[in-house]
Amino acid sequence: MKENSLENVGRRGTPSWGFKDLRSMGLTNLLDDLKEAETAGLSNTQCNEIKKALSHMVNWATAIPDGSLFSKAIWKVIKQFENEYLSWNEPPDKGEEAIEHRKKKYDKLRHLRHKIAKKARRHARVLNQELDLELIDDVYKALGDAVKAAPDVLKNLSSAVKNYFEKHP
């Protein structure tokens, strides 16, 4: 049986499974942590580590074919997520305006994570054929670096990273 056959789409250890884990656990837990950090924001160091991980995710997602003529490439949606995240922490203070700004950006991030999930479900077979699980491992390693920079803030993300590597050593 061919490794990337339709029967293997979403099966543990396949690229589509890894991407599903990334979008459903990695990004969701990151959003949970950002919600908890809404009042205080993140330090520049913490913000930059998350930015590095998201940039890494955008870079490897450029290898995924567009999927259809009428559909935006998944890397472009991930890039939108990265851009909204960068805007989420600006300004990085605790004032009322900054908190309200983060609340609005958080809603946009949730919406974009949902778009990434829909696109991934629709194109799971392409993901399985075009992605390499090692690329997803690399994104999770970058997320792990972000966790190391902000262990007190990224508790949920820490759990997602640990869980991923336990399932896929």
- Between residues 130 and 88, which one has the greater pLDDT? 88
d(CA 37, CA 3): 41
* Side chain identity at residue 65, one-letter code: P
d(CA 46, CA 145): 10
pLDDT at 10: 59
pLDDT at 1: 37
d(CA 105, CA 81): 10
pLDDT at 131: 78
d(CA 70, CA 108): 22
In tens, the pLDDT along 10-28 reads: 577 788 888 889 999 999 9
Q: Give the pLDDT band of residue 7 (cuts 50, 70, 90).
A: low
What is the residue extent of each domain of the chain? Answer: 12-167
pTM, 2 dp: 0.87
In tens, the pLDDT along 105-164 reads: 999 999 999 999 998 888 778 777 777 888 888 889 999 999 998 899 999 999 999 999
Q: Is the pLDDT of residue 3 over 60?
A: no
When the pLDDT of each residue in the chain is averaged and rounded to a whole number, the result is: 86
d(CA 17, CA 10): 4
Q: DSSP readout, the chain?
A: --TTSGGGTT-TTSHHHHHHHIIIIIHHHHHHHHHHTTTT---HHHHHHHHHHHHHHHHHHTTS---STTS--HHHHHHHHHHHHHHHTSS-S-SHHHHHHHHHHHHHHHHHHHHHHHHHHHTHHHHHHH--HHHHHHHHHHHHHHHHH-TTT-HHHHHHHHHHHHH--
